[in-house]
Amino acid sequence: MFAVRRGHLLAGAVVLAAAVPLSACGDDQTDPLVATAAAAAPAPGATTASAGNAVAAYVDDMRGWVGCMRSHGVNLPAPGPKGDVDMGDMRARKSDQTFLDASQACRDKQPAKPPELLPTRPPLTAEQIKNARAYAACMRANGVPGFRDPGPDGYPVDASAPGGRPDTASDDPHADAKAGQICEPVLNGRPPTSYDPSLTGQG
């Protein structure tokens, strides 16, 4: 649910994805100027072509990110037709020093998904929303001060921005991984756990 900015798939992104099945997506935008809608309407197929161009650009940028990760020792497969990359076992990745270092080095190269590829957001229960807020507070208290509170629906407040990603991670993937490990139980309504350096490759 909480996707990480700057490309490192750690802490909130990975942990929350396990707790909430789908991540956030952009809200549809409707033109309020109904009277001029017909005149302003694009030619048939123009919207589809524009969406296709955005997806193609995203896939191309993801190829660049994969290339960067490979250059730093992480052997990732080429992106799929929609830019998806098989990351393998992310639990193991979070304890892989090479992956952590590559993620930090390549964080500015991973593009944000275009709205056309963002999944729909299922409604969260009151308990899930409460746990998401507690998780954000826990992350801030454990080394990720920029981790934002979710919106009223339990999702990141900026997740619906076109092409945007939630600003939920720090610049240090090690700090993200440490806080994510400590705070993971909070997503299920349990207290934070103790930090085990052996689980994040820092022991």
- What is the pLDDT, as a whole number, of residue 99? 92
| Residue 154, in any domain of the structure | yes
Contact 7, 168 (CB under 8 A): no
Model-wide pTM > 0.75: no
Number of domains in the chain: 1
> Per the domain annotation, does 28 fall within a domain?
no
Averages of pLDDT over each 10 residues, the chain, 203 residues: 37 39 36 34 50 87 95 95 89 87 91 81 93 96 90 72 52 86 95 85 49
Classify residue 49: in a domain, yes or no: yes
48 in any annotated domain = yes
* Residue 37 belongs to a domain: no
Looking at the domain assignment, is residue 24 inside a domain? no
Distance CA 106, CA 100 (A): 10
Q: Tell whether 174 is covered by a domain.
A: yes
Does residue 90 lie within any of the structural domains?
yes
Domain residue limits at 99: 5-19+44-162+169-199
